[in-house]
Structure 1
């Protein structure tokens, strides 16, 4: 079997989608599947097949697309600059993917709705399409916009032109896919609201390559926490949707009660300077270390005492599972798929979304209680090792591919 894993987004060594793609490709390869990976390289403005060294520069078609899709001839198309930019990039992605070729695959596994819609439009034959919904595109776009417009509410955004555009991509990709992969009940219910029949869904939780994780964790992290300080940790993209600003607000409140802690934040993103400024304004800049991009998160997490995932929306972040595997007690926001990752009080805790006061109070209580932290961390590690097997994820995903081929054959 030959499979294409494809994403409209950038292929990067940071972020959950890349972790999923890389681990899945490796596992499928071990099962005898031939896997290619297609995605975007923003630095070079190209679409490429990563393992084959094939690429296509979007610069080759961008002038032509801008000339065709111009404000004079298509004023409605270009009225919203953000949507026009998305559509121009989607068309460029389609042309690049068509040039690179998709007809040689038995199954195409899209990692986002934009890629699914694009690939379906260029197919010359009926190749079974499986789409993973790693998040809710329209809702993620809402949080991006809420960052600059705090008064914006979700229901109003979903009824706006932009909201309807992103919802239409989700609806079209779901309708055109043979099967849909989700990792949580939450994302399944979100996509089901778009009118997608439940018979299309297959739920497979994200997994971690445990031998590789243990090997990475055995490496030495070259830094130690200051004497007498416990480490509160976060890893991930420094973007509004990840809620790091909520964590910093909670830490500012925590500092008024105690100072026996330090917060370690690993990751990159467009909010780094803003988050540094927030910490400085709250007089806790010296209590927070922004490590930037780290190549070995398991080693980093060995030094954490508490892990916080304060996201405004997150399906089932790998970072939470990695913290659990490190034996670190985790706190997650009570939104999206994150509450499904912990059993409150046994393998972690759930706090209301964007509730910095509740988060601060919980952090204060946990810093007081070494025994509870250790007990919950150990239970979380045991649970993750039993339920996050990459071998099982690979086998179940391969079953989905075979089912998609069978269903596609019935329709042919």
Structure 2
């Protein structure tokens, strides 16, 4: 069997999704499956097949596309600069993928709606497409818009031109996919709202390569916390949707109650300097350490006492599972797929989304109670080791491929 894992986005900047792709590809390869990975290199503006050293520059087709997608002929299309940018890049990605070739694969596993729609448009034969929905694209773009317009509501946004555009991509990709992979009941529910049939879904939670994780965790992290202080940790992209600004607000309140803590943040993103400024402005600049991008997150998490995932929306963040495997009790926002990752007070805690006061109160209580933190951390580790097996995820994903191929009318 030959499989193409493909995404419209930049491969190595995808955080947990890149972890998913890399682990899945390695595991499928160990089972004798031929796997290629296609994605974008934003720095060079190329679409490339990672393991074949093949690439195509999108700039080669931009002039032609810009001529076709122009304000004179398509004024409504170009009126919104964001949508015009998406369409230009979507068509360029499609043409690049067609040039690189996709017809020799037995199955295409798209990692986002844009890639799924592109694959179906260029496939020259009845190759089945399976699509993983790692998030809700329309809702993610809503949070980006809300960052600039705090009064904006989700229903209003979804009825706008932008909202309808991204919803249409999600709906089209679902309709054109033989089967749909989701990691949480929440992401499934967002698609059923678009009238996607129940029979298309296959629920497979994300997993971790445990031996690899344990080897990385065995390496001691270079920095120790200050004497007498416990570590509150976060790892992930520093973007609005990740909610780090909510965590910093909570820490400002915590600082008025106690000072026996430090917050370590690992990751990079376009809000790095803004979050630094927020921490300084709120009086916790010396208590929050930004490490930037780290290559060994398991090692980093060994130093943590509490992990916080304050995202405004997140399906099943790998960082929560990594914290659980480190025996670190996790606090997650009560939104999207995150509450499905913890059993409150047994393997973690859930706080209302964007509620800095509730997060502050819980952090204060947990810093006060060493026994509860340790008990929940131990139970979380045991749960993650039992339920987040890469072998099971790989086996079930391969079964989905085989089912999709059978639905497509041919066998391998």
Bucket of the pairwise TM-score, normalised by the shorter protein: over 0.9
Query: Are residues 1:261 and 2:261 paired?
Result: yes
Distance 1:162-1:14 versus aligned 2 partners, 3 A rule: closer
- Deviation by residue 1:26-62 (Cα, 9 ceiling, x = unmatched): 0100111000000000000000000001000001000
Query: Are residues 1:177 and 2:177 paired?
Result: yes
In 2, the alpha carbon distance for the partners of 1:93 and 1:13 equals 17
Match of 2:292 in 1: 292
In 1, the alpha carbon distance for the partners of 2:297 and 2:320 equals 11
Structure 1 segment 5-404 matched on structure 2, within 5 A = 5-12=5-12, 15-404=15-404
Q: Which structure 1 residue ranges, 5 or more long, are not aligned?
A: none
Per the TM alignment, residue 13 of structure 1 is displaced from its structure 2 partner at its CA by: 5.6
Q: Which structure 2 residue ranges, 5 or more long, are not aligned?
A: none
Partner of 2:320: helix, strand, or coil?
helix
Aligned length: 411
In 2, the alpha carbon distance for the partners of 1:366 and 1:16 equals 27
Partner of 1:82: helix, strand, or coil?
helix
- Deviation by residue 1:169-190 (Cα, 9 ceiling, x = unmatched): 0000000000000000000011
In 2, the alpha carbon distance for the partners of 1:296 and 1:11 equals 18
Q: Is this contact kept in 2: 1:45–1:57, CA < 8 A?
A: yes
Per the TM alignment, residue 109 of structure 1 is displaced from its structure 2 partner at its CA by: 0.1
In 2, the alpha carbon distance for the partners of 1:14 and 1:247 equals 22
Q: Is this contact kept in 2: 1:13–1:19, CA < 8 A?
A: no
In 2, the alpha carbon distance for the partners of 1:322 and 1:351 equals 19
Distance 1:14-1:114 versus aligned 2 partners, 3 A rule: closer
In 1, the alpha carbon distance for the partners of 2:343 and 2:14 equals 27
Partner of 1:308: helix, strand, or coil?
strand
In 1, the alpha carbon distance for the partners of 2:197 and 2:17 equals 25
Q: Is this contact kept in 2: 1:206–1:388, CA < 8 A?
A: yes
Per the TM alignment, residue 14 of structure 1 is displaced from its structure 2 partner at its CA by: 5.3
In 2, the alpha carbon distance for the partners of 1:13 and 1:268 equals 10
Per the TM alignment, residue 299 of structure 1 is displaced from its structure 2 partner at its CA by: 0.2
In 1, the alpha carbon distance for the partners of 2:354 and 2:335 equals 10
In 1, the alpha carbon distance for the partners of 2:266 and 2:32 equals 35
Per the TM alignment, residue 76 of structure 1 is displaced from its structure 2 partner at its CA by: 1.0
In 1, the alpha carbon distance for the partners of 2:39 and 2:52 equals 12
In 2, the alpha carbon distance for the partners of 1:74 and 1:256 equals 56
In 2, the alpha carbon distance for the partners of 1:124 and 1:410 equals 15
What root-mean-square deviation, in Å, do the aligned CA atoms of Structure 1 and Structure 2 show?
Answer: 0.9
- Regions of 4+ moved over 2 Å: none
Partner of 2:303: helix, strand, or coil?
coil
